[in-house]
Amino acid sequence: QYHTLQSSPIISVSSCHQMGYNLQNDNHAASGYYFPHSLRPNGAPALESPRIEITAYSQCPENEVEESSTEDHFIKRGVNSIVTLTLPNADGYRDPSCLSPASSISSRSCNSEASSYESGFYNYDNSPQNSPWQSPCVSPKGSSSLLSCPHSGGPAGSPYHSPSTSPQIGAMAEEGWPAQHRSGGTGGGGGMGKRKYSFNGTSYNQTSCSPNQSPTPSPHGSPRVSITDENWLASTNQYTNSAIVAAINALTTDGVVDMGEGIPIKTRKTMLDHSPSMSLKVEPGGDELGPDGEICHEDYPSRLALKKENYCAGFLDVPQHLYSWSKPKPYLSPSLPALDWQLPSCSGPYNLQIEVQPKSHHRAHYETEGSRGAVKALSGGHPVVQLYGYMESEPLTLQLFIGTADDRLLRPHAFYQVHRITGKTVSTASHEVMQSNTKILEIPLLPENNMRAIIDCAGILKLRNSDIELRKGETDIGRKNTRVRLVFRVHINQPNGRTVSLQAASNPIECSQRSAQELPLVEKQSVDSYPATGGKMMLLSGLNFLPDSKVVFVEKAQDGHHLWETEAKVDKDSIKSSTLVVEIPPYRNQRISSPVNVNFYVCNGKRKRSQYQRFTYLPPNVPMIKTEPSDEYDSRGTAGLPMHSKPYYSQSRLTPIMPVSDSDACLVGGYSPCPPRHAAMPTSSPSSSPTLHDLSPVAYSKCLPSSPSHAVLPGPMVAPIQETPGHPSLAHPASPDHNTSLGMLPSQGSPNHLNSPGPHGYHPVYAKSSPSSSPVSHPSTPGGTAESPFMQAYSPSHAAANSSHAGGSSPSLLSEDASPPSMAITVKQEPQELDQMYLDDGE
């Protein structure tokens, strides 16, 4: 294993490894990945108390029988608890930095699912963190899994072992964090007290558990129990972690990161694992999966393992047997990248595409309600996801989880969970798996179906804000945080032992009943860019437009303050609920020499605004750049309907992170196309493979520089997620993490930036952008890709980049200047990228 690790390291490092963990690279890869995780380190902060809680959880699991998810969580927790216990060293938490590589590594391996293992790990833990164990973890297979567990555990364990290690994370992080955040900040008490929820039947289960479990220091005790807390906690940690990580990073770059995350994750996973077992239902999916084995195994394995080790044994086993998945591969999962890692949508020949996007609105259901059905597509059908470039005969497993849709990096959404839909109307088999508080739906991707899956089995469950916010470590707030994205992942094992992980995120989905009914939504705009003179009519298509809807164009500075704002003239007579015609207002400066990115939004009233939409003013003389179709549109005239739906789509791609933008290009063809794009991502590291997430700073930096050239792309297109003009809501206090978390992202971010037409030295901006300072405001800048600062706000990637580390790297990007002239257009950068890509592929 080591060999592999070592050998591969360099190469793979950047890329895939994660997957690869199994493979080998662990170290490198791990390190890279870990970074992000390292965020966890944040754990450091929180660390202190954590363990305690864990213990509690363990109890819960059994009790609760709630349905899948909750139970799972509990179960896991139980496991976790075990784990936690192990970790006695609180110290470690804090030191995350100390951890350095070793710890980090271990953690990662664990990350994913490892958690479950953790419990078992103790022993492992003992082993000196890093070394052997870790590596083992990395290693893909089998035993490794256990090992990995250890890792996960290791991290946790490590703490024990070595204080330095820190404590990694693991244990600490989870508990600690939560405790701190929640209890301290919000005052869990408050939350608890507030609601009656506790009473609710649903909550019962949870509560019962949680309370007990939650031993958390805090008094939460309260009924609420935020059930999930525990579970969540772990997960939360992740988020938090990111922030923390960021902080940590600042302190130290070491592998530390991993630690934190890894542990939490593990715990979570465990929980998940349990659930899975519970879910046995798997049924069809299972069958299919079974065949696939590989992928499934990954997840399953872990589960299995966990189960076995833990109490599961009995229950779980059954299911397992049923399905092939259960198999022995357990370990795989551990190696998989954490859910908050940013992954590219295409790598080498592979390209994971969302062929049919989900509708922009889907009312999520509460636990107190019945299911509200599966997420549907605009067409009335269901979302469709396809993997291009995969020629093997082995089925793969497509993973789906609910991710965030804010301006920060993509990560599992704390307030929503994917909900498995079954029934006669459902044609797609699926199977639930829990990974660190996040429910994942696993769907078979079969060669016979051309590696295409119709997602008609995925609903969305809303968790009570009060429950989630109480989780330890959870820093996000649920209020107004009702937009999500479907996040799809595929892990492809390659001959060389590495695993390529791809990720694609859907366009944002508004899950709030009220928001969906009241907030205007712009799905398409007929014009993306136009000369500063304005005057052209632009057709907007979307939802909830009212006779008195207004369209406001705004330009924000990096720091978030408004540079320019004007209300455009709306053709009141032509307004329909789904369409609106507006005249593009002249830009404040008619002499711009390079494209200027601004934003606009539709406003139905004070707090009823659409997300920011991107728009680019072009220098009067300059012909429109190819970049966008806009030209066409222009010519057509607003009346023409040709709209761009860029925003969303681009976004979706974005999600994948940087890659995303690239992905666009890649899209169809898959193979060839991708490579180029990779460039963007890959750019980061020679190593390349986008797939891999290069976490390491270095890579980034590298990438960035190169990126400039690449930059072009769709950057603009990227259209970061739409942001709501006025709502900072998303911005959460805690957020800092986002940034940090991103470490990985950076690459992405950079690309975007690059892409952005942004004329001139935005760099600075970026740097600023990070601006975590004004979390809230940031969002606003959606459009900004190009120029400005906005970009940052928008795309998560940006954020990431900006924020942390990225910073380091990003700067370079900025400097790139590549952006230069607005035009930038996406030229192909292929060469470089390709190389990288190939390399990756080749390897």
Partner DNA sequence: CTCCTGGAACAAATG
Partner DNA sequence: ATCATTTGTTCCAGG
Residues lying near DNA in the complex (CB under 7 A): 190-191, 194-197, 200, 202-203, 363, 365-374, 421, 423, 462, 464-466, 477-482, 512-515, 517-518, 605-608
Task: Find the shortest distance in angstroms from Cβ 311 to DNA.
Answer: 28
Q: Alpha-carbon distance 440 to 446, whole Å?
A: 18
Nearer to DNA, 246 or 402 (CB): 402
Nearer to DNA, 3 or 196 (CB): 196
Nearer to DNA, 724 or 819 (CB): 724
Nearer to DNA, 321 or 479 (CB): 479
Task: Find the shortest distance in angstroms from Cβ 480 to DNA.
Answer: 4
Quick check: helix, strand or coil at residue 497? coil
Phi, psi dihedrals of residue 723, rounded to the nearest 5°: -120, 160
And the tokens for 170? 């693991």
And the tokens for 543? 């939802």
Task: Find the shortest distance in angstroms from Cβ 481 to DNA.
Answer: 6
Nearer to DNA, 26 or 469 (CB): 469
- Alpha carbons within 13 A on the beta-carbon side of 140: 26
Q: Alpha-carbon distance 600 to 698, whole Å?
A: 36
Task: Find the shortest distance in angstroms from Cβ 461 to DNA.
Answer: 11
Output DSSP code: residue 361: B
Task: Find the shortest distance in angstroms from Cβ 547 to DNA.
Answer: 17
Whether the CB-CB separation of 44 and 244 falls below 8 Å is answered with yes
Nearer to DNA, 137 or 477 (CB): 477
3-state secondary structure 22-45: HHCCHHHHHHHHHHHHHCHHHHHH
Nearer to DNA, 535 or 605 (CB): 605
Output DSSP code: residue 380: S
Nearer to DNA, 480 or 536 (CB): 480
Task: Find the shortest distance in angstroms from Cβ 296 to DNA.
Answer: 24
Task: Find the shortest distance in angstroms from Cβ 190 to DNA.
Answer: 7
Angle at 444 between CA 438 and CA 447, to 5 degrees: 145
Task: Find the shortest distance in angstroms from Cβ 738 to DNA.
Answer: 19
Task: Find the shortest distance in angstroms from Cβ 737 to DNA.
Answer: 20
In sequence order, which ranges of 502-645 are alpha helices (DSSP H)?
Answer: 513-518, 630-636
Other beta carbons less than 10 A from residue 19's beta carbon:
32
Phi, psi dihedrals of residue 49, rounded to the nearest 5°: -70, -25
Burial of 391: CB neighbours in 10 Å, binned 0-12, 13-18, 19+: exposed
Task: Find the shortest distance in angstroms from Cβ 280 to DNA.
Answer: 17
Q: Which residues make Cβ contacts (< 8 Å) with residue 135, sequence separation at least 6?
A: 1, 2, 5, 26, 27, 105
Nearer to DNA, 371 or 579 (CB): 371
The packing angle between helices 674-683 and 830-842, to 10°, is 90
**Nearest alpha carbon to residue 613 among 734, 460, 414, 785:** 785
504: which strand partners? 488
- Tell me which amino acid residue 625 is: I
Nearer to DNA, 365 or 413 (CB): 365
And the tokens for 592? 């711009």
Nearer to DNA, 131 or 422 (CB): 422
Other beta carbons less than 10 A from residue 704's beta carbon:
32
Task: Find the shortest distance in angstroms from Cβ 379 to DNA.
Answer: 15
Burial of 318: CB neighbours in 10 Å, binned 0-12, 13-18, 19+: middle
Nearer to DNA, 116 or 203 (CB): 203
Q: Alpha-carbon distance 122 to 135, whole Å?
A: 16
Nearer to DNA, 281 or 569 (CB): 281
Q: Residue holding tokens 């500063």?
A: 532
Task: Find the shortest distance in angstroms from Cβ 790 to DNA.
Answer: 22
Nearer to DNA, 569 or 607 (CB): 607
Whether the CB-CB separation of 226 and 195 falls below 8 Å is answered with no
Task: Find the shortest distance in angstroms from Cβ 194 to DNA.
Answer: 4
803 to 651, 722, 725, 768: CA distances (angstroms): 19, 19, 21, 9
Q: Residue holding tokens 């297979």?
A: 141
Q: Alpha-carbon distance 169 to 179, whole Å?
A: 14
Task: Find the shortest distance in angstroms from Cβ 599 to DNA.
Answer: 19
